[in-house]
Amino acid sequence: MTSTLALPVRVLTHNIRYATSSPFKGEKPWAQRKQLLLNELLYSTRYNQESFICLQEVLHVQLVDVLSGLNGESASNTPEWAYIGVGRDDGKGAGEYSPIIYRPAVWKLLHWEPVWLSETPTVPSKGWDAASIRIVTIGVFKHHASQKTVLALNTHLDDQGSKSRAEAARIILNKINEYYSGPYGDALSGVFLSGDFNSEESQEAYTALTAETSPLVDSQGLIDPAERYGNEHTFTGFGYEGIPPTRIDYILLGPTNKTKDTHQAPSLPWTPKGYAVLPNRFDDEVYNSDHRAVVVDAVLS
């Protein structure tokens, strides 16, 4: 039986920039960036046990470093943090991951799967006009204490292919519908989708994922602008790309019953409490990534 107690959840999403051997101008190697990134993750999740960490562009060596850093504070031999996800190139350890990192002592993993954003979603593959293989990581998590169940999705859409982004959005929405129509549907308390969409608000992926027919809503719009923390833009580059900053990283919440009345808020199982875009550079002038992290606090009823 699902508890009626409200459940505060924090979701953090961050494209951490893969560990390249040929850094851009202004970019420091992963060895110099990783502790800064770990400090962000540790600080942002230390006092919210129900946190999910959703990352993009993560090579296997980076995943090992992140988990090692997160679990370094564990007082027992049992790791505090675990993950779901695979390397997108082979479904194992090759290529970039889009992992979802969680605390097993807090969340029980009921089911998970990787889905390739292509014409063949069950096998590693590149779809349509995409420049790279793309993937969405999907997990069903049951909260031990409250028994509430969350459908979590994390993705990184293509930076070149407009058609591939549009088709990827369609696949993601179909998967959400599949889960709500399937064996976990009656138990699901809420859903979130995080990631780097490589899509601004006027472009194909964002508009599809937040359309009136979509069960998802942008968490940023649920928080009054005066109450948001940090910047508007989530992609900054490393300072020498010659392109303006943009907002392309999102956390969407659902399921929602939307109304055509723009003055009426959508009906959601989530009550949003906070939205933040975190800094990615401080006095040392080192960017921890070319993206800023997005953090959302919401209470699941």
Domains of the chain: 7-300 (3.60.10.10)
Q: Quick check: 261 pLDDT over 80?
A: no
The DSSP bridge pattern shows strands 100-102 and 82-84 to be antiparallel
pLDDT digits (tens, 9 = 90+) for 27-61: 999 999 999 999 999 999 999 999 999 999 999 99
The DSSP bridge pattern shows strands 135-143 and 107-116 to be antiparallel
Candidates 206, 195, 119; CA nearest to 166 is 206
| Confidence band, pLDDT 50/70/90 cuts, at residue 183 | very high
Residue 263: C-alpha distances to residues 211, 213, 223 (Å):
17, 18, 14
pLDDT for residue 1: 46
pLDDT digits (tens, 9 = 90+) for 155-172: 999 999 999 999 999 999
Name the average pLDDT for the chain.
Answer: 95
What value, to the nearest 5°, has the Cα angle with vertex 53 and ends 258 and 12?
50
Start-to-end C-alpha separation, the chain: 14
Burial class, 47, CB count within 10 angstroms (exposed 0-12 / middle 13-18 / buried 19+): exposed
pLDDT digits (tens, 9 = 90+) for 99-135: 999 999 999 999 999 999 999 999 999 999 999 999 9
For 71, list phi and psi in degrees, rounded to 5.
-85, -5
Taking the model in full, what pTM does it have?
0.96
Candidates 40, 74, 46, 167; CA nearest to 115 is 167
d(CA 74, CA 78): 8
Mean local confidence (pLDDT), 205-227: 97
Question: How would DSSP label each residue in 123-191?
Answer: SS---TT-SS--EEEEEEEEETTT--EEEEEEEE--SS-HHHHHHHHHHHHHHHHHHHHSTTGGGEEEE
User: For the chain, what is the largest distance between any 2 Cα atoms, rounded to a whole number of angstroms?
Assistant: 55
Q: Quick check: 74 pLDDT over 90?
A: no
